[in-house]
Structure 1
Amino acid sequence: MSHNNNYYKPYQCLLTLLIVLLLRSTPASAAPTDAELLLKFKSSLSNAAALSDWNASVPLCNGNKNNWSGLTCMNGNLYGLRLENMGLMGVIDVETLSQLSSDLRSLSVMYNSFTGAIPPVGRLGGLRALFLSHSGFSGKIPHDAFEGMKYLKKVYLARNGFGGRLPSSLVGLSKLVELDVEGNQLGGKIPGFEQRDWRVLNFANNRFKGRIPASLSKIDRSAFLGNPDLCGAPLSACKPPKKPFITIAIVLSIAAIIATIALFIFFLRARRAQSPNRKSISKHLGQAPKVYKKFALWDTARSPDYYDDKKKGDRNRSLHFVRNDRERFELEDLLRASAEVLGSGSFGSSYKAVLFSGQALVVKRFRYMNNVGREELHAHMARLGRLSHPNLLPLVAYYYTKEEKLLISDFVENGSLASRLHGKRPAGEQGLDWPTRLNIVKGVSRGLSYLYREFPNLTLPHGHLKSSNVLLDRGFNPLLSEYALTPLLNITHAHQFMAAFKSPEFSHRDRASKKTDVWSLGILILELLTGKFPANYLKRGTADLAAWVNSVVREEWTGEVFDKEMCGTRRGEGEMLKLLKIGLCCCEASSERRWDWRQASEKIEELMERDNDGEDYSSYVTDWDVYSSMVLSDEDFSFSVKN
C-alpha cells in the first residue's frame, strides 16, 4: 500500500500544479474601460447623432485634443464632458460617469432638451464646474443635491424650471465662486452665503423674497432684479410691516386716485376727438410704427431715483455721444420713441427706435458689460467713436449705468447677412448673386483689416465676427457691427457665446491668438459660398462646415459645394474656387499654419467677378486637383486639406 502511494505521488504533485496554474490564468471579471463606460452613458441618451464618432476602437484623447466629440482632454486624459447645443434628450446617466477611471472635472449639457429633475450630480465628487443652464430640467432641487462636492467652483442652473428653495448643500460649498440660477422659479429667502470674492452671482428673475443677506449686499443689484419681493441692499430698503387698517386706507386711497386719473383721461380723449386739429397733430408726430415693446430703461428713467439724480445734475443719467456728425437728442427723446424688437442675442436684445424727428436708430441693450470700470469704458467708447471706415457700423452714442448699458447706432435697411442667407425671403426675390457675395467678402475683409491696424494691441480686434453681425446697407455693402467689445464684456459670458471663443485654439487650449479673428473670417467665407449655417456659431470647437467642404472637394465634383441659390456665376467658377481655398486657409485648425490677416486680405483683393480667360471651367472640370492646378498654380497659394 505504501509502495502504491509512492508510485502515484509524482502524478498528484503534477495535478496540483496544473490546478494552481489554471486558477491563476483564469481572469477575474475585467472592469469596463472608460470608452465602454462612455458608450453605456451615450445609450441612455436619445437624439445623440452629434456623438456618432464615439467609437471604442478610437482613443478618447490625443494629448490635449479630443478624438471623441464633446470630450475635454488634458495630457492625454479625460478631463470633462462638454455636450452643449447637441439637441440631446433622455437621461444623464451619472451612475455610469461616476465609474470612470479618473474623476470628471467639468460637466456641461447646456442648451439641450432634457426633462425632469436635476441629475444626481452629487455622485461626481470631483467636479469643479457644472453647467446645466438652458437644458429643460425642472422640479425641486433636493437639499443634499451637492453634498460632498467639496471641489465645486462653478454652478450654472439658469433658464430651467427649477422651483422650491435653494438647497442647503449648495450654501455649504466653500470653494464656490460662480453661481447662476437666473430665470427659474426658485423662491423663499436667499440663503446666507459666506463672504467671498464672487466672480459670477445671479439670482435674477426668480421668486425670491425677503431681505438680501448682508454678506451679499455689495453685489451688483442686477443680480437680484426680477424678484419683486426682495429688498435690502443693494436693492431698495425693506419697508416695515404695516398694520391692517393702514394697508386698507392706502389701498382705498390708491383706488380713488386711479379712478380720478381714469376719469380725467376719458374726458381728455373725448375732447380731443372733437378737436378740428387732430389730423394736423398726427401729421406733425409722423406715422410712427406700431409699438411692440418699450425699453426696460423706460421704467428705470421714470423711477424716483432718476429724478433725484436729475435734480443733482448727475451726468451719468444722460446719453454720451461719440460722434459729431449725427443729430443730437436727449435720453427722454429716446425713451419716448417707438421701439420694435429686432431680435434677442446672447448679449441682450436689439430694438429699432424711431425718434419723433423720423431718425431711425438701433439700440443694443447689453446685459453682460461689466468687465471694466466707468472711466475705462468711457475711454474705450471714445476710441470706438473715432473709428471711421465705410465697412464699419459707426457707434453714435451710448448710455451707461449699473442697471443699463445701451449702444446706439444707425439703422441699416437690409438687415444682416445671416437673415439674407438663411431667412425666409419674399416670393420672387432672388438669392445673393456671386458679384454681390464677392463685394460683401471684400468689404468684410477691409473692415477687419482696418480693425487690426487700429487695435494692434488687442488679441481680438473684432471678437464676434459672424454673419449676424455683418449688416447690409441699401447697396448691399457690408457693415461690421459689435466689434472691439471684448475688453468690456463679462469674461465668462464672452467665453461661452462670442464667435472667437469657439475657435479650435480656444476649444483645445483656452487661448485665443492674433489669428483667431481670421478663423472667424474663414468660417464666414465658407458660409457665404455654401449657404450653410455653421454649427461653429453654436458649439465651441466645432469645425463641421470646413470638414464638410474638405470632404466634398476631395470626393465629389467641386460645384456641389456652392450655394445653389447663388446666381450670376457664369464664367466666375474659377474665382469662386479661389475664394473657397482662401476660406479654408483662414479657418485652418492649426493657428500656426493659418494665414494672418494680411495674407487673407491680399488674396481676397485679387479676386474678380469673372475668370481671367473667360472660360467656363465647370463644363469639363470635375476633379478638385485638376481644377486647383488650372486656377491655383501660385505656390504661395498652396495649402493642404486635412482628411
Structure 2
Amino acid sequence: MKDSIIYSLFFFFFFFCFGDFADSLTPDGLSLLSLKSAVDQSTAGSAFSDWADSDASPCRWTGISCMNITGFPDPRVVGIALSGKNLRGYIPSELGNLVYLRRLNLHSNNFYGAIPTQLFNATSLHSLFLYGNNLSGQLPPSICNLPRLQNLDLSNNSLSGSLDKGLNNCKQLQRLILAGNHFTGEIPAGIWSGMENLLQLDLSDNVFTGSVPEDFGDLKSLSGTLNLSFNHLSGGIPKSLGDLPVTVSFDLRNNNFSGEIPQTGSFSNQGPTAFLNNPLLCGFPLQKSCKNQAPSSPGNPNSSPGSDNNPKKGLSPGLIILISVADAAAVAFIGLVVVYIYWKKKDNANGCSCTGKTKFGANTEKSRLCCSCINGGFGNSDSELDPPERGRGEGELVAIDKGFTFELDELLRASAYVLGKSGLGIVYKVVLGNGIPVAVRRLGEGGDQRYKEFAAEVQAIGRVKHPNVVRLRAYYWAPDEKLLISDFISHGNLASAIRGRNGQPISLSWSTRLKILKGTARGLAYLHECSPRKFVHGDIKPSNILLDNESQPYISDFGLNRLITITGNNPSSGGLMGSALPYMKSSQTERANNYRAPEARVQGNKPTQKWDVYSFGVVLLELLTGKSPELSPTSTSTSLEIPDLVRWVRKGFEDENPLSDMVDPVLLQEVHAKKEVLAAFHVALACTEPDPEVRPRMKTVSENLERVGS
C-alpha cells in the first residue's frame, strides 16, 4: 500500500510539473486520476477506459456526474458511481479535494485499507456508499464533520473498534447502515435523540455487547426495520422501544437478551421472528411463558420472592377454595352445553337446518331465518359443521353461500365462455337464468377418493369473507368433475389494466392506483392474520388481482394449489364442463413470474406469508414505475419491461437518481402526488428486502399504505 501511495504522489508531481495536459484538465479531473492510479489496473477492466488525461473535463468519463456551479467556468464533479466493477485498490485521500462531490458510490468492489480522514474535506458529501468491500480500521470520528451527510452505508466490510459518540453530530443522517463488520464494545447512549431525521438503522452482524440504549426510543422518524440482530447484546429489552413508530419492525434475533418482552406500543406489532434465538427471553409473541422464569431474590438467585424452602408445605386454604369454585363453574358449563344441544336438536326436528344437507337451492323463509343467526357475525362460516356427505354418486352442487339458488342443469344450460386457462384450471364466465354472472373454475377429474379432504379445504376457503377477496359461493363434486363457483368480477384484472388488452395500456390515475394498492393490501392482511387458515396465497401478481367497475380490487386464486394437489389431474382436459361449455384457448401468453420472492424460486421451499409480501412489493413497484417485471420468453425486451425491477429501483435510489427517472410518466402530471409516491416507494422497498425476516408483515404494510394520502 505504501508503494501505491508513493506512486500516486509521484504521479501527481509528474502531472503538475511536466505534463502537457496539466493546463487543460480541470482540478477535479486531476483529483479523479488519483482514484485511477490507486486501483490495480489488472482489475480495472473497462471502468477507466475513457478516463483520458488529455481531456479538458472529466464530465464524460464513465461513472462521473457533473453540474454547473455558479461562479465557476467549468462544471464541477458531484458524483462518482463505480459500483460492482471488481476494482481492487485503496481509496485515495485526494478525493477530499472534490469539494462539490455529493455522492461517492464505490460499493461491491475490493477496496481495502482505511477510510482516509481527508475524504471528509469534501464537505458537500451527502451519500457515501462503500458497502461490500474489504475496508478496515475504525469508523473515522470526523465523518460527522460532513454537515450534509444523509446516507452512510459501510456494511459488509472489515471495520472494527467502537462507535464514537461523535455520531451525535450527524444531525442530517437518514440512513446509518454498519451491518456485517467487526465493531465491538457497547452501543453508545445519549446520541440517538439528536438524530431527528434517521429513517434506517442497521447495526446487525457485529460484535456489540452490553445493553440497548434507552434513547433508541427517541428515533421518532425511524421506519422499516431496527436491526440489531447477530450481536452479543444482553440485558432486558428497553420499554422505550415501544415509543418508536408502529410501522417499525424489530430484528433482535441471535443476541443474549433476557427477561420479559415488553407489551407496550410498537411491541404489539412484532412477530415471534423478531426475538428468536434469545434463550432467556420470554413472553408474547414467543411461545414461552415467563411463569417458569421467576425473578431471582437478592439472597438466593435460584429462588423467587416469597418462596418457601420447605417442599412439603401443602396447599393454602385460599387455593383450595379457588379450586372448588372452578370445579363448580365447570359443572355448570357442562349443564349449559347439554341444554343447548337439546334445544338445537329440537329446532332441527322442526325443519330448521343450517348443516347444508338439504337440497342445494332450498329457499324457505324458515331456513333463511335460521341460517341468519349463524351467519350474522363478521367472518363466520356459512356452514361451520363438518363437510356434508356428498359426491358419492352422480355428483351434486354444495352451497357455501345459501343465498345462491340454482340447479346444476341451469348451470350447464347457461350461456358461457372461457375467461382464461392456467395450471389452476379453466375459468368460465357463466350467466345464470336470472341474469347473474358467476365465475366457474374447473379443477379436474381425479381425487375421487379424497372427498372429505377436498370438502374441508373448500369450506375453509368459503369462510373467507372480505370486501377485497373474491367470494366462493358453491362447489360441485363428482368422481369425474370438480367445479368451484364464485363471484364474477366485471372489469378484468390488474394486468389488463396496466398493460392493456391489446397492447394499449389504460391510463390509471394516482388515486386509482392507490385505491387498488390499499384494497389489495387489506385483503392480503386479512388472509394472513384473520382468515380461518391464515392463508398464504403464494402467487400474488396483477393477473390475480381482479377489478370491478369502480376499480375496487379483489384477490383471487388463493388456496387453489392445495385443491389441485387433491384432485391430482390436469384440469384442462375434457370432463363435464369441458363438453357442456364452449372451449376457447386462452390468448394470455405464459410469462416468467418475476413477482416471486428470491426464496420462492428455490425448489422445495414451502410458501410463507413473506413470499406474498415480496410479491405485493413488486406489484407496488410496477404501479409506481409503469414498468413490468415480467418478460415473455418469446419476445424481446421493450422500454416498459425491466427484467429485475426491484434491483433497478434500488440502484436508482442508491445513485440518487431523480424521481422522474423512475416514476411512471403518467404520474408526473399529478404534482400533488409526489410525496405520496415517494412514501409508497419506501413501502415497496421494505416489502422487497432480500431477507424475508426483515420484510414487514402485511398488516404493517397495509397500515403504512393507509397513511399515504390520508
Range into which the TM-score falls when normalised by the shorter chain: 0.3 to 0.5
Output the TM-score relative to the length of structure 1.
0.41
TM-score normalised over the length of structure 2: 0.38
